[in-house]
Structure 1
Amino acid sequence: MLAVEMTLLGGRYRASSFDDRRKAEWPPEPARLFYAAVNVVYQSSEPDDAEVEVLRWWETLGAPEIACSEALLRSVVDHYVPGNFASSWTNDIQPLWREVERHQRSLMEAQSSGSPSDAAKAQKALDKVIAKVRTATERYTRPTGKESLQVMDRVAEVLPHRRGKQPRTFPTAVPDDPNVYFIWRSADPTAQQRSTLDAILGRIGRVGHSASTVSCRITDDPPDPVWVPTSSPACERQLRTTDTGLLEALLEEYERHHGYLEHVLPARLTGYVRAGKPSTVPTRQNEIGDWIILRFKSRQQLPISRTLDVARAVRAALISHAPDPVPPLISGHIQGSAEQLRAPHMSVLCLPNVTHAYSDGYIQAAAICLPDDLSPDDRTTVLDALDRWSAHAGGDRYRLTLPGGLSRDLELGVLDADSGALPIRAPVASRQFWARRARTWSSVTPVALDRHPRIGRNPDLDELSAAVAPIISRMCERVGLPVPESVTASPVSVWSAVPPVAFGSRRGFPQYCVGGRRGDRRFTTHVTIEFPEDVRGPLIIGAGRFFGYGLLLPTPGSTRTASEL
C-alpha cells in the first residue's frame, strides 16, 4: 500500500474546478498532486533520473482512494483588485507586447519544425521587436520636466492603489480537517521508491492556487477512504487522475506552449462515489454508446460555428471508405433508399473548448458516436472504414476535406467509453467530460427543432421559450429523458465563447437543413433545460443530433456540491 498525506497549512484549499472556474474544487484532484510533483522535479535543468523514474511509476498507479473531511465551499463573488499594468503603460506599448507574443509563437513553431534556417529567421524577427519595446519603454518613461498635470496623473497609476481594478474570483474550500489522504491499496513500492517519492513530496510547497500552501509526506496509517473510484455510470464526481503516459504528455504539451500559449493540462477523468454509499443511477439517453475520438492536430482547430461542416465531412469520409453498399449504421439511411433510418445509428459530434471565461470556442476534436449495444460486426465495420481512411492519408492521420477545399488533419484519440484506458490531452476531447450529471443543462451547439414553433416575426424571450418548451419536451421523451420542468430558449448561449444562432446572418451558427445546405430548414435555438431529477450525459437532442447540433453541458453552477450530496 502507498498513502500520501497532504496537510493544508492555511486550513483551506483554493482551486477552481477544471470545468467551472467559478466553482471550488473538493475533494482535491489526485492529478494536481502529480502536477505539483512534476513541477518540483523539473525545476532543475537536469532532473534526477531516479526521481523521473519514480514519477513514471507513480503515473501507472491509477486512481487512488481519497480520505478527507467535509468542506464548506465559499460562495464565489467578484473581487475587484488592481491590474498588473497601469493604463499609462499598456495604452502606449501594448501593441508591441502583442507583437512580441506573436513572434515568440512563430519561434516555437520554427523550432518544433526542425528547420535551423526558419528558427534563425524567427529569432532575428523576435530580437528586432524586443529592441523596439526597449526603445519605446525608454522613450515613454524618461522624464522631461515639462509634463502636464494630466501626464503626471497617468504616471502615478503605476502605484497599485491608483491602478484600475479588474474582477477576479477566488473559489475556496474550507475543510473541517486540513489533512487529505490519497491511498493506493494495490501499490507495492520498493524501499528506494518510497524514499525517493518522500523526498519529492517534501519539496512540494503548494497544490492548486499559489495560496494553497501544503506539506506532503508518505504515511503508513491513513484513515478509511471517503471517496473511491468507480467505473459505474452512477458516479458522483469526475476527478482528474493519472494514467500511463501522463508525464510524457505533460512534457510534450509544455514544449508546445512554453507558458505563452493557451493550454489545458493532460489528465484522465475518473468517476468517484462516496465509500459505502449506494448511488442511484441518473437518467441517461438510451441510444448513446462509445465514442471514437479524432483530435485536430495542433493549430488546425476550427471555430465551433463550423460544426455542421466538420460533422458532415467526417461522415462523408467514412461513407467513402465504407464497404459497398454503405451500411445503414454509417449512412443513416435504409439500404437502397433515401428514407432516413429510424433506428439508432452513427452520429458525429464536434467537441469545443467553451467552458472557461477565456475559452477560444474552437473545436478540439470530432467524436464518432456509436449506438449503445452495438454488435461486434457493426463495430468492426466502422473501425475498418477508419483504417481505410487513415491508410488513404498515409497511415498516421485522417485527412478531412471541408466545403471550399479547406483541409485539416485529425489524429486518433481513444475509443472512449466511460472506462477509457488512455490519458487525454484535453478533458474536453473526452466522452467523460460530457458525461457528467446535473439537473440543468445548456446548449453548446443550438438545438434544431423537429417542427417550427408558432411565434411571430420578432418574439421576445418569454414568447420564444413558451413556444419552444413543448417541442423540446417531446424530443426529450423520445430519446429516453424525463419531461423537463422548464425550458428557456434564446438565440444566445449561456457560454460566452459560443456564438449565437445566425438567423439569416453569416455570423454564428447556420440553421440546420435536413439533407444538406439546400434542404428543409429547421428552426434552431439555444436552450437551457431543467429536469426534475439528475440526468447523466452525454446529452444530445434535436433534429440535428446526428450532425453535432443539440449538444448540451451542465449549466454553470448546476452540478451538486459536496454539502448537497
Structure 2
Amino acid sequence: MPFRTTVRLLESFYEASTLDRSRAEWPPHPYRVFCALVSVADPDDPLHDAALQWLEQQPAPVVRVPAQSAEGQVPRCAWVPTNGVAAQPSHTLLPGRTAGGQTRVWRERALARPVMVFEWPTVPPAGVAAVLESLARAVPYLGRATGQALLHTSVESAGEGGEEGGPWQVWEPAGADVVAGVQSLRAPYPGLLERLRWAHAEGQYAFQQARPHPYVLRGAQAVQEPGVVEGRFADLVTFAFAPGVSLDAHLTMKVTGALRGRVCDLLAAAGHDVEAMVAMHGHKERGDERGVCAFLGLPFVGRRYADGRLRGVGVALPRDLDPVVRRAVLASLLRTDGGLSTLQVPALDWPLDLVYVGEGATPTDTVAAVRPQRWTRPSRQWATALPMVLDHFPKRNGREIEESVAVSCRMAGLPEPRDIEVLRTGAFVPGAPSLSPGAVRRYEDDPPLPARHVRLHFAEAVAGPVIVGSKRNYGLGLCLPTNTQDGGYGA
C-alpha cells in the first residue's frame, strides 16, 4: 500500500516554470511537495523534524497527473511591485514601483482535472503519518504562490485512479538500465531537510539544493545501457595550490592564461618546437579538427560548504594528441627540472606553489576539488562548475539559448544532449560561482557573449572532463559529473 500525498488545486491550472522559465514544469517535481512541507514545519519541533527526515529517506515517489493537459501558448503576465528593502529607500525601491518597468511572466499548465498524486512506496509509522498529514493540511499552495492548493496524505491500496477517476499519466523512477524517454525530476534525498534549513539561514535559494532523479513515463520501452562515450580528452593532469591558498574564481581566465604560457615555456626550455604544437597554442587553420589542450582552474564546488574558489589547476590533453607531443607535455609537467611547481599569475604579487595530485590522492575537501577523477568520472548528467560562455549570441533567452548550448556541445566534441537546462542567474551546483562580464573575456575587445550555468543530460554516459563554450580552452564551461541515481556531485 503506497503512502499518498494528494494535491487538489483550487483552479485547473498548475503554475510553475522550469528553472530557465522557458516553459511550464511538467510533470510537477516531488521536490516541490517536500519543500512545501518544510515551509510550514516548525524548525524547533522535533516531531516535525522526525517526520520530514523519515520522508526524505524514502525512495523517490511515483507521480500521477491527469493524462489530458496542455501548456498555454502565451504565458501569463502581470505587473508586480518590488520587494526591495533598504535602510534609506530610494524612489526605485518604493513598494509602488514596478519591477524594472516590465511585466513578470510565468508559465502554466491547464489540467483536465485539478488533482495530482505523489505516491511513496513505504507506509510510515502511525505517528509519522499523523504529523505529515497535519503539515500537508497547512500548505497553502504548490508551485507559484498563486497556485492555491489543498494537500492531503493517506495510506491506500494501489490503484490508477487516485481520488478521481479518468485517465492518468504515471511517471515512475527509472531504473539504471532505462535510457529512452528519461526525464529528470527534482526529488527529495537524505539530508535535504538539513540542507534547506542551512540554505535558508545563508540566504540561498531552495532550488540550489535540489538533486535530479531520472523518471520515465510508465510503459516506456526499456533500453539497455550502452557503453561509455569517450570525451574529447584522454588525460587530466592536476596540481593543487599550497594548503590554505585559494583564489577568487573571477581570476580564472588570468590563471589559465598564465598556466598555458608556463607550460609552453617549460616545453620550449626542454628544446621542443612549441610553435609546431598546435594542440598547445590552439591557433589552427580553418578545417583543422584536431583537439586542443584545455587549461583549467579547479573550483571547490558541489559540497555543503563549497565557496567556488579555485583550489588548483589542471591540463587536459586531447584524445587525438600526437603521442610524441603527449610524452613531451607529460614530461614537462611532471619530471623535467622538477616539473610544474610554481605559477606566476599577473594579478598576483607572489608566485603560486603547485603540488601534483595523482589519482591516489587523499580525498580531503581541499584536495577533492583537484583530484582528476572528480572531473573525469563517466556520467549521463553534467552541470557547470564555472559558467560557460556561449559560442554565439542567441536571439533571445528562450529556446534559442538552449539550441546555442547544443551547438557548443557539438563544437566541444560531445554528443548532442537529449535535454539542456539553462539558468539566467544562479547555478545548479552548490557553490558554483557566477562571473562578471569582464571575468569571462580574455581580451578587452572580445565580444560580450552571454555566460550561463547549464546542466546537460546525455542519453549515454560521457567520460570527462567535459568543457563547453567559447572559452573552454581556458577553463570556462568546466562541468562536474552528477550521479543521476543519487544526485551526488563528482567523485
Normalised by the length of structure 1, the TM-score is: 0.48
Find the counterpart in structure 2 of residue 193 from structure 1: 128
What does 1:133-152 align with in structure 2 at a 5 Å threshold?
Answer: none
Task: State yes or no: 1:308 paired with 2:232.
Answer: no
Aligned with 1:243 (options 189, 193, 199): 189
1:95-126 per-residue CA deviation (whole Å, 9 max, x = no partner) reads xx54x3xxxxxxxxxxxxxxxxxxxxxxxxxx
1:445–1:551 Cα contact (<8 Å) kept:
no
What residue in structure 1 maps to residue 34 of structure 2? 34
Q: 1:83 to 1:343 in 2, by over 3 A?
A: closer
Shift in alpha-carbon separation, 1:402–1:53, aligned structure 2, 3 A: farther
Residues 100-119 of structure 1: pairs in structure 2 closer than 5 A: 100=87
- Could you say what secondary structure the match of 1:20 adopts? coil
Segments of structure 1 that go 5 or more residues without pairing to the other structure are 86-93, 101-131, 141-156, 320-325, 354-361, 374-399, 421-429, 436-442, 449-460, 462-471, 483-492, 513-520, 529-533, 553-565
Give 1:212's aligned residue: 147
What stretches of structure 2 of length at least 5 have no aligned partner? 161-168, 281-289, 302-306, 320-342, 353-364, 396-405, 417-421, 427-433, 452-456, 480-491
Deviation at 1:6, TM superposition (A): 1.6
Instruction: Give secondary structure in 2 for the equivalent of 1:61.
Output: coil
8 Å CA contact 2:82–2:95 kept in 1: the answer is no
- Report the Cα offset of residue 287 of structure 1: 0.8
Count of residue correspondences: 361
Q: Contact between 2:384 and 2:477, CA under 8 Å: does it hold in 1?
A: no
Asked whether the 8 Å contact 1:4–1:218 carries over to 2, the reply is yes
Return the alpha-carbon distance in structure 2 between the equivalents of residues 277 and 51 of structure 1.
Answer: 37
Deviation at 1:302, TM superposition (A): 4.0
Structure 1 residues 387-402: aligned runs within 5 Å: none
Computed over aligned residues only, the root mean square deviation of the Cα atoms, in angstroms, reads: 6.0
Q: What fraction of aligned residue pairs are identical, expressed as a percent?
A: 19
Question: Deviation of residue 246 (structure 1)?
Answer: 1.0
Shift, 1:219, TM fit: 4.0
Tell me how far apart the structure 1 counterparts of residues 146 and 22 of structure 2 sit (CA, whole Å). Answer: 17
* Whole-angstrom CA distance in 2 between matches of 1:164 and 1:548: 34
Bigger fraction of residues in helix: 1
Q: CA deviation at 1:226?
A: 1.5
Summarize deviations over 1:193-241 as a string: whole Å, max 9, x none. 2222222212212111111122222241454472122345545422211
Deviation per residue, 1:445-493 (Å, 9 max, x gap): 1549xxxxxxxxxxxx9xxxxxxxxxx99994882547xxxxxxxxxx9
> Quick one: which of 197, 203, 206 aligns to 2:138?
203
Q: Report the Cα distance in structure 2 between the residues aligned to 1:192 and 1:343, rounded to whole angstroms.
A: 60
Q: Determine which structure has more spread, i.e. the larger CA radius of gyration.
A: 1
Give the CA deviation at 1:183.
1.9
Shift of 1:245: 1.4
1:143-182 counterparts in 2 under 5 A? 166-182=102-118
Secondary structure (helix, strand or coil) at the match of 1:16 reads: coil
| 2:202 is the alignment partner of 1:256 | yes
2:29 and 2:271 map into 1 onto residues whose CA distance is 52
Letter of the 2:474 partner, please give it. F
CA contact (8 A) 1:56 1:247 kept: yes
Specify the alignment match of 2:66 in structure 1. 69
Question: What is the identity, as a one-letter code, of the residue corresponding to 1:198?
Answer: E
Tell me the residue number matched to 2:45: 48
Q: Which residue of the partner structure matches residue 228 of structure 1? A: 172
Determine helix, strand or coil for the equivalent of 1:210.
coil
Aligned partner letter, 1:308: M
- Output the CA distance in 2 between the equivalents of 1:475 and 1:239: 23
Q: For 1:64 and 1:182, locate their aligned partners in 2 and report how far apart those are by CA, in whole Å.
A: 6
- Going from structure 1 to structure 2, the CA distance change for 1:431 and 1:48 (only over 3 Å counts) comes to same
Asked if 1 retains the 8 angstrom alpha-carbon contact of 2:298 and 2:314, the reply is no
- Within the candidate set 348, 363, 386, 1:405 is matched to 348
CA distance in 2, matches of 1:267, 1:200: 21
Q: For residues 158 and 26 of structure 1, what CA distance do their matches in structure 2 show?
A: 33
Equivalent residue number for residue 6 of structure 1? 7
Q: What is the Cα deviation at residue 176 of structure 1?
A: 2.0
1:30 and 1:212 mapped to 2: Cα distance? 16
Could you tell me how far apart the structure 1 residues matched to 2:366 and 2:66 are?
Answer: 44
User: Cα–Cα, structure 1 residues 38 and 368, in superposed 2: closer, same or farther, change >3 Å?
Assistant: farther
Normalised by the length of structure 2, the TM-score is 0.54
Q: Secondary structure of 1:194's partner? A: helix
Report the counterpart of residue 24 of structure 1 in structure 2. Answer: 24
Residues 214/402 of structure 1: CA separation in 2 closer, same or farther (3 Å cut): farther
Residue identity in the other structure for 1:41: A
Of residues 502, 506, 510, the one that matches 2:442 is 510
- In structure 2, the residue matched to 1:556 is none
CA displacement, residues 108-151 of structure 1 (integer Å, 9 cap, x when unaligned) = xxxxxxxxxxxxxxxxxxxxxxxx67xx9xxx9xxxxxxxxxxx
Q: Secondary structure at the match of 1:247?
A: helix
Tell whether 2:477 aligns with 1:479.
Answer: no
Contact 1:349 1:546 in 2 (8 A): no
Equivalent residue number for residue 268 of structure 1: 211
